[in-house]
């Protein structure tokens, strides 16, 4: 042992391919050999270490050492010769193939990034992650050439976020708001930003002109509230004198969160932080009053938002119905849908930040006289293609549906609330269900449940009436959503027996850091219109969420749709909101509560968390009463802190599963000219290799089984039970999973309720009823084959389902113990009574209806996959939603 340590210590450095030297790391040799061993089904760590020692001895005997550091190629050559000399010819062959594959990947990475040298992040991120970075996030010049490295991207984001901390330094910030400053002096600097490009730095991090702009605007915001202790020139003097070098550690902290794939902010932050646009928010809500001037103002604001990289949600219910008389002109109103078409056209012609078209949510209240036209509008191809549409459900409609004998419901004038006509609530819900069965739209937004614990209604003068484009974030007009997601799959640690366990202490630490990160986003954001700047800072609404849930459960060997899985996800959700709100209180103590806090229901001891009220206290993991007392004493920094947003593209960057969704498919194929190539879930692949099961033939079998291992004889039952996919989970259990997260999330959850091709419209209606009973704030249903002519990407030509899907006992027990309404109970039980095997259409099979063209990626023209209520391209990372 001493001898090996002495040998290792003689190699202090290694020469990299670009000629630089870096610290010698023996573990990298061991890991490379271990991967070669795994490929030959000999995953032996001790053998890998023994062979590494042989490599070190060989290097030493060849004269390499402190004075003559070996190169990467020298070490790889020594590994090959050591393996051969010690009689491991098969392992040597595997290592040579591994080395060749690494060289190919390295070359491909350089091609994707248009570079001859890989930076540190490029070396660590896998090829697919880099493809996403290159296609969506890295800055480009006017010739569309990449002009920054991945390292530079994460640095420019981190520097801007770190400025938010510096502005709240005790020498700069005065929470009391009693210090006047010369604001005009600070504003002068906004006219000469280019003169301050890379002139100042925080520790080792230089501020470009857009970082400098963030510093100026952040200072002006404080000064306008009297919270700046010093003048802006004094602030610059302190920066120049290196009085804020400690904040370099904060910048590094934010950088590490991202490059270690533990946390990522929403896409606009990644695209725009430290750049010209500087707009960091994912999405916004705008009002649409029944006034032509205000309609045009909303249209103009929407255009500016699309240009800046954001998406828009609008409730069109204030617009008078089609055919109504317009008193000012004696004309006839064209109706809300016509104005949606205007926004749709604006979206088409303005790309988001030069990257892609914008995303929209169009909402109509269920009581609007045009509701039937709105519901059926998108069943036709080519209509409102830039919109998700949802029906806003309120308590009066729900009561008419489930409690009244005749289901009579009145549609009312938007002008004065007078009755226009009466419809049957059952007929209307059937119309919604049938439309969603055909085309996956509209969704439902349960505004009665959204506003049940809305602590902000009193301060804003009314209930929430709109959401962002994917429905998970309810907002008042001109508010923004500033989102970020924690990769839970990377918060595990190995136990002595080699198994994984979740690191709860690390989770708390990350939740607190990322809550601060998102708080800073609000302050350094360059908002597209002034009203958004005001509204966003009045409420300081953030949305901290998660991704990688399915991968985490795979690591922990917990089935997603099981009692253990549901209870574990419930604890994750409760911890997320508890720690983020507790950190929000801590930030309120040092930085101040959000400006409208005193006008909300927080001082009354109320919180926007359903689980606190609806779950027995003995089932709470955290002391919510103590937290409420802190809020009453100190206030809270953010009106709401948690949202589970779509993370399609972000999940590709973080190399993990989407949001809190189950894995779409464990294996799916990409057809290339030379044959079949399989994308395989990395944790699943690791388990197959560890158990001697891995083969191309088995991967093909899983791909042809709709990406599932269910019913495949070669796969042990314990693996089948743990590695469940969206296809394996009954639609009622999809709803249950969403519900256990919703119990503790302040805003809502982005999730797609996957339903098999053979469900009926009555089943879709039952899903709506169950969703409302479970307390969900919205629901998006996707029946396989409803929106596309063929099954997407993950199946082969001979695909055949070998398994059936049934609801879990946990779900049945919930229905028995909790649902008492006779009408709801009957509808749900009817849907669950007969379980039919899922016979999904094969790739050459055309769904009966509707005849709708496949939705193709506008960037690379591959077919899009619908997940979390959002279209995403698994090839290039394009996402139809702004958050992820």
> Are the CB atoms for 831 and 766 separated by under 8 Å?
yes
Q: What pLDDT does 791 receive?
A: 35
pLDDT tens figures, 644-666: 999 989 999 999 999 999 999 99
Q: What pLDDT does 270 receive?
A: 96
Q: 124, 184, 111: which is closest to 150 by C-alpha?
A: 124
Question: What is the C-alpha to C-alpha distance for residues 217 and 201, in angstroms, rounded to an integer?
Answer: 17
Q: Which residues of 599-610 are buried (b: 16+ CB within 10 A; e: fewer)?
A: ebbbeeebbbbb
Question: What is the C-alpha to C-alpha distance for residues 34 and 878, in angstroms, rounded to an integer?
Answer: 35
Dihedral of alpha carbons 260, 266, 272, 274, sign:
negative
How many C-beta atoms lie closer than 10 Å to residue 755's C-beta? Answer: 24
Angle at 107 between CA 106 and CA 112, to 5 degrees: 95
Q: 48, 43, 35: which is closest to 98 by C-alpha?
A: 35
Max CA-CA distance within the chain?
A: 97
Q: What pLDDT does 794 receive?
A: 43
Question: What is the C-alpha to C-alpha distance for residues 755 and 763, in angstroms, rounded to an integer?
Answer: 9
Dihedral of alpha carbons 251, 253, 254, 259, sign:
positive
Question: What is the C-alpha to C-alpha distance for residues 852 and 844, in angstroms, rounded to an integer?
Answer: 15
**Strand 351-352 versus strand 356-357 pairing type:** antiparallel
The DSSP line for 787-844 is: SSSS--SS--TT----------HHHHHHHHHH---HHHHHHHHHHHH------PPPTT
The count of C-alpha atoms lying within 13 angstroms of the C-alpha of 644, restricted to the half-sphere facing its C-beta, is 35
Burial class (CB in 10 A: 0-12, 13-18, 19+), 328: exposed
> What are the angstrom distances between the C-alpha of 346 and each of 337, 369, 441?
14, 26, 22
Rounded (10°) CA dihedral 747, 750, 754, 760: 60
- φ and ψ of 69, to 5 deg: -65, 140
Question: Which residues does the annotation mark as catalytic?
Answer: 468, 470, 472
Angle at 426 between CA 421 and CA 427, to 5 degrees: 65
Q: What pLDDT does 797 receive?
A: 56
DSSP letter, residue 173: B
Q: 736, 763, 772, 779: which is closest to 835 by C-alpha?
A: 763
**Helices and strands, number each (H, E), in the chain:** 34, 26
Question: What is the C-alpha to C-alpha distance for residues 838 and 359, in angstroms, rounded to an integer?
Answer: 32
Rounded (10°) CA dihedral 275, 280, 282, 284: -120
Residues of the chain with pLDDT under 50: 1-3, 5-7, 353, 788-795, 834-853
> What are the angstrom distances between the C-alpha of 260 and each of 121, 153, 169, 280, 753?
9, 14, 27, 21, 31
Burial class (CB in 10 A: 0-12, 13-18, 19+), 666: buried
Q: 868, 747, 268, 262: which is closest to 511 by C-alpha?
A: 262
The alpha carbons of the chain give a radius of gyration, in whole angstroms, of: 28
Question: What is the C-alpha to C-alpha distance for residues 843 and 648, in angstroms, rounded to an integer?
Answer: 24
Question: What is the C-alpha to C-alpha distance for residues 179 and 408, in angstroms, rounded to an integer?
Answer: 61
Strand locations in 266-333 (E): 283-286, 311-315, 325-326, 331-332
Question: What is the C-alpha to C-alpha distance for residues 457 and 461, in angstroms, rounded to an integer?
Answer: 6
Question: What is the C-alpha to C-alpha distance for residues 178 and 60, in angstroms, rounded to an integer?
Answer: 68
SS3 of residue 312 by DSSP: strand
> Are the CB atoms for 359 and 386 separated by under 8 Å?
yes
Residue carrying the six token digits 């990522």:
264
User: Is the N-terminal amide bond of 850 cis, ω within 30° of 0?
Assistant: yes
Q: What pLDDT does 20 receive?
A: 78
Question: What is the C-alpha to C-alpha distance for residues 333 and 60, in angstroms, rounded to an integer?
Answer: 86
Q: What is the mean pLDDT of the chain?
A: 89
> Are the CB atoms for 678 and 740 separated by under 8 Å?
no
Phi-psi region of 569 (alpha: psi -120 to 50; beta: other; left: phi over 0): alpha
- Secondary structure (H, E, C), 521-573: HHHHCCCCCHHHHHHHHHHCCEEEEEECHHHHHHHHCCCCCCHHHHHHHHHHH
Question: What is the C-alpha to C-alpha distance for residues 473 and 489, in angstroms, rounded to an integer?
Answer: 24
- Token pair for 763: 């089943």
Q: What pLDDT does 90 receive?
A: 82
Question: What is the C-alpha to C-alpha distance for residues 367 and 391, in angstroms, rounded to an integer?
Answer: 10
Question: What is the C-alpha to C-alpha distance for residues 538 and 172, in angstroms, rounded to an integer?
Answer: 21
Please tell me the total number of residues recorded for the chain in this structure: 884
Question: What is the C-alpha to C-alpha distance for residues 232 and 596, in angstroms, rounded to an integer?
Answer: 27
- φ and ψ of 255, to 5 deg: -60, -45
């Amino acid at each position: 042992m001493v001898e090996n340590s002495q040998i290792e210590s003689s190699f202090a450095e290694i020469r990299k391919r670009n000629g630089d030297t870096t610290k010698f790391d023996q573990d990298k040799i061991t890991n490379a050999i271990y991967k070669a061993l795994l490929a030959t089904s000999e995953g032996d760590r001790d053998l890998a270490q023994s062979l590494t020692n042989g490599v070190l001895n060989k290097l030493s005997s060849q004269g390499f050492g402190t004075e003559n550091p070996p190169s990467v190629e020298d070490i790889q050559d020594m590994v090959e010769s050591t393996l051969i000399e010690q009689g491991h010819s098969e392992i040597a062959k595997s290592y040579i193939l591994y080395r060749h594959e690494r060289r190919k990947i390295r070359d491909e990475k350089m091609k994707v990034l248009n570079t001859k040298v890989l930076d540190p992040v490029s070396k660590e991120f896998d090829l697919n992650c880099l493809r996403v970075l290159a296609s969506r996030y890295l800055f480009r010049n006017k010739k569309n050439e990449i002009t920054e490295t991945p390292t530079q991207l994460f640095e420019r984001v981190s520097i801007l976020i770190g400025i938010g901390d510096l502005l709240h330094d005790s020498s700069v910030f005065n929470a009391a708001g009693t210090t006047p400053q010369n604001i005009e002096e600070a504003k002068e600097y906004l006219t000469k930003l280019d003169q301050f490009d890379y002139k100042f730095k925080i520790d080792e991090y230089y501020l470009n002109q857009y970082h400098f702009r963030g510093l100026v605007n952040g200072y002006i915001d404080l000064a306008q509230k009297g919270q700046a202790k010093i003048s802006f020139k004094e602030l610059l003097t302190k920066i120049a004198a290196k009085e804020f070098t400690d904040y370099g550690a904060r910048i590094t902290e934010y950088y590490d969160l991202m490059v270690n794939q533990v946390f990522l902010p929403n896409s606009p932050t990644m695209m725009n932080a430290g750049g010209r646009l500087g707009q960091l928010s994912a999405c916004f809500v705008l009002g649409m009053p029944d006034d032509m001037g205000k309609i045009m103002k909303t249209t103009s604001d929407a255009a500016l938002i699309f240009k800046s990289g954001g998406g828009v949600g609008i409730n069109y219910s204030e617009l008078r119905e089609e055919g109504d008389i317009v008193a000012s002109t004696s004309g006839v109103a064209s109706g809300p849908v016509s104005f949606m078409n205007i926004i749709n056209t604006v979206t088409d012609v303005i790309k988001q930040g030069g990257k892609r078209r914008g995303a929209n949510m169009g909402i109509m209240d269920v009581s609007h006289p045009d509701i039937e036209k709105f519901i059926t509008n998108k069943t036709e191809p080519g209509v409102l293609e830039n919109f998700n549409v949802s029906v806003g459900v309120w308590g009066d409609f729900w009561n008419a549906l489930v409690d009244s004998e005749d289901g009579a419901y009145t549609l009312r004038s938007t002008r004065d609330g007078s009755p226009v006509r009466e419809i049957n609530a059952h007929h209307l819900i059937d119309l919604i269900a049938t439309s969603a069965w055909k085309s996956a739209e509209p969704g439902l937004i349960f505004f009665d449940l959204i506003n049940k614990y809305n602590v902000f209604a009193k301060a804003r003068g009314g209930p929430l009436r709109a959401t962002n484009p994917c429905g998970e974030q309810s907002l008042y007009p001109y508010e923004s959503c500033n989102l970020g997601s924690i990769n839970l799959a990377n918060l595990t640690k190995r136990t002595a027996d080699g198994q994984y366990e979740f690191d709860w202490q690390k989770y708390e630490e990350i939740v607190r850091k990322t809550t601060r990160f998102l708080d800073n986003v609000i302050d350094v954001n360059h908002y597209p219109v002034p009203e958004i700047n005001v509204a966003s800072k009045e409420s300081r609404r953030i949305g901290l969420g998660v991704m990688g849930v399915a991968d985490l459960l795979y690591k922990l060997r917990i089935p997603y749709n099981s009692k253990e899985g549901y209870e574990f996800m419930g604890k994750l959700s409760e911890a997320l909101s508890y720690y983020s709100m507790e950190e929000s209180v801590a930030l309120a103590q040092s930085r101040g509560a959000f400006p409208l806090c005193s006008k909300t229901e927080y001082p009354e001891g109320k919180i926007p968390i359903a689980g606190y009220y609806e779950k027995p206290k003995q089932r709470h993991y955290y002391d919510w009463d103590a937290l409420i007392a802190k809020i009453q004493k100190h206030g809270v920094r953010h009106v709401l802190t948690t949202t589970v947003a779509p993370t399609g593209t972000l999940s590709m960057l973080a190399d993990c599963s989407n949001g809190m969704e189950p894995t779409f498919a464990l294996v799916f194929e990409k057809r290339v000219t030379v044959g079949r190539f399989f994308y395989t879930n990395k944790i699943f692949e690791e388990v197959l290799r560890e158990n001697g099961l891995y083969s191309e033939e088995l991967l093909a079998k899983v791909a042809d089984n709709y990406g599932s291992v269910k019913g495949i004889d070669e796969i042990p039952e314990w693996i089948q039970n743990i590695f469940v996919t969206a296809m394996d989970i009954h639609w009622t259990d999809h709803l249950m999973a969403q519900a256990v997260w919703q119990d503790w999330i302040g805003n809502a959850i982005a999730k797609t309720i996957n339903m098999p091709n053979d469900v009926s419209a009555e089943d879709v209606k039952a899903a709506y009823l169950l969703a409302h009973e479970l307390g969900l704030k919205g629901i998006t249903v996707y029946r396989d084959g409803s929106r596309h002519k063929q099954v997407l990407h993950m199946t082969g030509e001979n695909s055949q389902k070998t398994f059936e899907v049934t609801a879990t006992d946990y779900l049945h027990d919930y229905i028995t113990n909790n649902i008492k309404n006779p009408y709801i109970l009957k509808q749900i039980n009817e849907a669950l009574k007969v379980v039919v095997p899922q016979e999904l259409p094969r790739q050459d099979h055309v769904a009966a209806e509707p005849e709708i063209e496949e939705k193709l990626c506008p960037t690379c023209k591959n077919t899009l996959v619908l997940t979390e209520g959002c279209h995403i391209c698994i090839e290039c990372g394009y996402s139809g939603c702004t958050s992820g």
